[in-house]
Amino acid sequence: MPLIEAAFAAEMAALRPFESAPTLAVAVSGGADSMALAWLADTWARGQGGRVVALSVDHRLRPSSAEEATLTIARLQRHGIEGEVLRLDGLTIGPDLAARARVARYAALEAACARQGILHLLVGHHAGDQAETIAMRMLAGSAADGLAGMAKLVVRNAVRVLRPLLGVAPEDLRGALRAIGWSWLEDPSNHDPRWQRARLRAMRRDTPGSGPATLALVRSAGRRRAQHEAGVQAIAYELAAKVTMFPDGYAVLAPGPISGPALRALLRVIGRTRYAPSAAQVALIAASPRSCTIAGVRLLPAGRLGPPGAWLLVREAAVPGASILSGWQARLPHAVRRTLTGRPGGGIASDPAT
């Protein structure tokens, strides 16, 4: 097995579990990175008795985008990979275009996965992308979690977004495509100085994506990611020990203190907020829980719902959203969701990931 295929297989093993004969969706732009990902994913999936579905998003922002998306899917179909073009409506040139396009793109990809019953969505971010992401976050003054870079696995709604190429240099991906005789498209925006990523790429002066600056940033991200995941795992076990989650969207916290990070995660779940309240806001309450309202969540004595000294956490009436029977787990980090299994009628079972 060629080295890059073996490395990819090792990454996929680390991203398990997968069902038998898995179907994988692969986001493809037509560029070298995503085409190499499609080839690697298809080779791996066939070895598991599964298949790959390629999804190409046409943002409709350039006159040639529709033709490029169609050409990309046609090329993959010639290699035995089925695919579909997803066309976006409503995107316009203007402020925050990159962020708006990203939101719309992922929404379209997730909807396509849901429509086809696909759990796993692979995206082609590589080592160069990881280095650029960290550099952008450093410039933006991100906290330590942000400097951990992109995660290899993120659960978005009902889809597992996998990034198995984060440790691979882009030039290695191009070399693999040359070796198998596959062609790809060049995206002019990759070198357009109007985009921050393109400017950072030029500053790094590392087109192959294997230079010392890129490798240093990727290694730093790996260390920070490991620290972050260890912290998430600690939160998971603490919540498993101290919290009873009810499917109607409230929780009972056992008597006594709880760590600030665990309480912040729990408040996000109950309040259904994208971001957790600040550590400073949470610290005093975590050390000594009391009746209060924070981040759209009310803390009240649990009464008959728990033992003496237990606390009830319930979403404020003014905060939108009713039952979170099927959605509350999606608000927790992936490692927490794997560890906590909500049971109707209360109780959280410990189910450590393997």
SS3 content of the chain, % helix, strand, coil (to 5): 45, 15, 35
User: How do the domains of the chain map onto residue ranges?
Assistant: 3-210, 241-350
Residue 354, pLDDT > 70, answer: no
- For residues 132 and 127, what is the distance between their CA atoms, to the nearest angstrom? 9
Residue 275, pLDDT > 80, answer: no
- Of 55, 41, 11, 45, nearest to 152 (Cα)? 11
pLDDT of residue 186: 85
User: Confidence band (pLDDT; 50, 70, 90) for 200?
Assistant: low
Q: Is the four-CA dihedral 167, 172, 178, 179 of positive or negative sign?
A: negative
CB 150 within 8 A of CB 135: no
Supply φ then ψ for residue 129, to 5 degrees. Answer: -65, -40
CB-hemisphere CA count at 13 Å for 289?
Answer: 24
Q: Which two tokens stand for residue 203?
A: 């500053």
Provide the H-helix boundaries in 91-126: 97-116
CB 289 within 8 A of CB 309: no
pLDDT of residue 201: 60
More confident residue, 224 or 205: 224
Q: Which two tokens stand for residue 89?
A: 């409506």
More confident residue, 208 or 193: 193
- Of 43, 32, 5, nearest to 174 (Cα)? 32
Query: Which of 24-33, 123-132, 218-227, 258-267 is predicted most confidently?
Result: 24-33
| Range name among 63-72, 93-102, 211-220, 317-326 with the lowest pLDDT average | 317-326
pLDDT of residue 121: 98
CB atoms within 10 A of CB 321: 12
Percent share of the chain, pLDDT over 70: 75
| Range name among 117-121, 138-142, 282-286, 291-295 with the lowest pLDDT average | 138-142
Provide the H-helix boundaries in the chain: 3-14, 32-47, 65-78, 97-116, 127-139, 170-180, 196-204, 212-242, 260-271, 279-287, 334-339
pLDDT of residue 346: 33
The model's pLDDT over 306-336, given as tens digits with 9 standing for 90+, comes to: 999 999 999 987 444 433 333 434 434 443 3
Classify domain 3-210 by CATH number.
3.40.50.620
Residue 217, pLDDT > 90, answer: no
More confident residue, 24 or 296: 24
More confident residue, 336 or 70: 70
| Range name among 127-136, 185-194, 229-238 with the lowest pLDDT average | 185-194
pTM of the model: 0.64
